[in-house]
Structure 1
Amino acid sequence: MKYRWLLVVIATAFISCKSKTKAPVSDTVLRVKNTNTISGLVQQFKPFIQGIWVTSDYITDLSRTKSPYISSKKLAGAAALEINLDSAEKDSTVVGVSLNNHEGASFTLFFKPGHQPNSLKTNWPDYEVNSNFYELGYQIAGGDTTLLLYHYNKNNQVIDSVKYIRVLAKQKDNDLGYGITYITNKLLISGNYELTDTNGTTSNISFNNEGKVSGFTGYETYYVNTDFEAGPQNDLDQFSFNIYTKQQKDYLFKIKGDTLNIYNIDFSADSVHLKWGELKYKLVRRK
């Protein structure tokens, strides 16, 4: 899905995205010594915050459920962030936000030290309590870098934080949800399979992280739906081939162990809900 940039933050969507956990403690704190000049802060932060980030709650839950539909609840609020310090101007840069994996928004990240050892101030507002505010920072633990959106009260105390994992170094076009698509493909689909169709014919099929298919006659791309905001007929895990073309084919899918099962789609009598149809393709991961 392509997202439009919005300069006005959608408050109700963001307020729902709070991990309700205190800021994690890093076993390693890395901070470049500088005079807190703008150039010094850019130099410090760029290696650690540049890239496309997806909320870690979604990644963790998806690894468990193998179902984008079930795990979509973890994409409420600020689901993904795009940070590109190459485009920084003067004392700030614009951070792209995927809201609920459905709409685009943005906020300003200022090159001004925050309250944490490695955090910067933002203009991301809290509409529930106007005196509350947010900062964006990074932490390094066990050699892994995570991004954190800290939520503070008026007494400068951390209320909660949202944790993000970097999934890509750079954005693809203006699709703020691409990072979610990419990590979903990588965790669930990407790999080499042996396909058995309904006629019992077998062939070797490959899917990559970017949504490309090889070895599957008639199909060049695949798409796993991760946006379940709009309905009807959007309440099961959907898998499409050749999306946005005249050759598009839509199915449902389930993952069980090392097997990807792709089903035809049926519909409820009132055409509101999706239903499982007959098994169309059975793909087993090759060792």
Structure 2
Amino acid sequence: MKRIFYLPLIISIFLSCKSTTGDSDQDTTAAGRLDQSQDLMHQFKPLINGLWVKKDYIKKVKKSKSPLEAVEKGVGITVMYIDTAQLKGDSIMVPVVLNNHEGANTALRFQAGKNTTTVELGNDELSYKVKNGDTTLIIYSYNEKTKETNTAQYIKAMQNKPAGGLAQGMSFMINQAILSGDYEGTDASGKKILAKFDDNGNVTGLPGLTTYFVQNDLIADPQHSHDEIIFNLNTEGQKAYSFIFNKRTLNLYDSADKTQSNKPSFSLKKKRE
């Protein structure tokens, strides 16, 4: 009879021990994830702040002197801005530009991706490499259909987000790659022109024109057949020219359809630095 009275006590002790062990395992796992997240923050944060642009796109623009020639490189995330001061918990909302056309936001989470060298960026993963003191960010994207992982690299355009938004950061890099510099040449009448284009989209020396924007939003306009510069954008004096950059000579044309045959409105040769 005594054995019958002791049995519930034994069962109670066993269940109590089992429950405590399970809680301990869960706590240990959670603590491990937290430690890993903290380690990833410590690793990534000093390197990823700033405005980043797609490296292959800018490289092609610089080589061809033509955003139109580089359009196939301008897909996916082309610009992103990471500000770790906006960190909440283990996440940051990262504003991005897709296809040089539309804005969006994606979450950067300091949780390990498929390995400890990547963190989660939306449905993709983010990593980095440092060479000669320069940091390059890398986005890994897994394609469910092809079962392949695609990569895209990003270089820093500037440390802070410009007042004009993320697209201004891309314009800054395009301006550097194509137009920035001093020019001398003539207008259509043969009048001598001395002009200067700077990195920030300002121009001097062209009568009535003070700012410029190199059109790069071409995904949304597949019929675009020419590269275009828009001067005095969003003002009453807005004026668009198609352009061809041949070696060091920039030709601006009034006609978008006959740039090869028409006489240029301006023919400007870039001075050597």
**Which bin holds the TM-score, normalised by the shorter protein?**
0.7 to 0.9
- Alignment partner, residue 29 of structure 2: none
Matches within 5 A, 1:154-165: 159-165=149-155
Residue aligning to 2:266: 281
Q: Which moved more, 1:276-285 or 1:180-189?
A: 276-285
Describe the superposition over 1:8-64 as per-residue Cα deviations: whole angstroms up to 9, x where unpaired: xxxxxxxxxxxxxxxxxxxxxxxxxxx5453x5444323311111111111221122
Q: How far is 1:253 from its partner?
A: 0.5
Partner of 1:140: 130
Contact 1:264–1:278 (8 Å) recurs in 2: no
- Percent identical pairs in the alignment equals 35
Amino acid at match of 1:67: S
Q: TM-score, normalised by structure 2?
A: 0.77
SS in 1 for 2:70: helix
In the other structure, the counterpart of 2:63 is 64
Q: Give matches, 1:23-102, under 5 Å.
A: 36-38=36-38, 41-102=40-101
**For residue 202 of structure 1, what is the aligned residue in structure 2?**
192
CA distance in structure 2 between the partners assigned to 1:232 and 1:143 by the alignment: 39
Asked if 1:179 is matched to 2:173, the reply is no
Q: What amino acid sits opposite 1:245 in the alignment? A: T
| Alignment match, 2:107 | 108
User: How far off its partner does 1:153 sit?
Assistant: 7.7
Kindly indicate whether the alpha-carbon contact (under 8 Å) linking 1:211 and 1:222 is maintained by their aligned counterparts in 2.
yes
> Tell me, which stretches of 5 or more residues in structure 2 are unaligned?
1-34
Structure-2 residue corresponding to 1:218: 208
- Root-mean-square deviation (CA, aligned residues, Å) is 2.4
Give the letter aligned to residue 109 of structure 1: L
Q: CA shift at 1:118, angstroms?
A: 3.7
Looking at both structures, which has the greater relative contact order when contacts are Cα pairs under 8 Å and sequence separation is at least 6? 1
Q: Quote the residue 1:8 is aligned against.
A: none
Q: Which residue does the alignment assign to 1:258?
A: 248
* Residue in structure 2 matched with residue 242 of structure 1 by the alignment: 232
- Cα 1:153/1:216, change in 2 over 3 Å: closer
CA displacement at 1:94 relative to structure 2: 0.8
Number of the residue aligned with 1:14: none
Query: 1:201: how far off?
Result: 2.1
Contact 1:205/1:213, CA 8 A, preserved across alignment: yes
The farther-off stretch of 186-195 and 46-55 is 46-55
Larger helix proportion of the pair: 2
One-letter amino acid of the counterpart of residue 78, structure 2:
A
SS at match of 2:52: strand
Shift of 1:237: 0.2
CA distances 1:149-174 after superposition (whole Å, capped 9, x unpaired): 123589xx982311111112122246
Q: Distance in 1 between matches of 2:37 and 2:217?
A: 41
- TM-score, structure 1 as length reference: 0.74
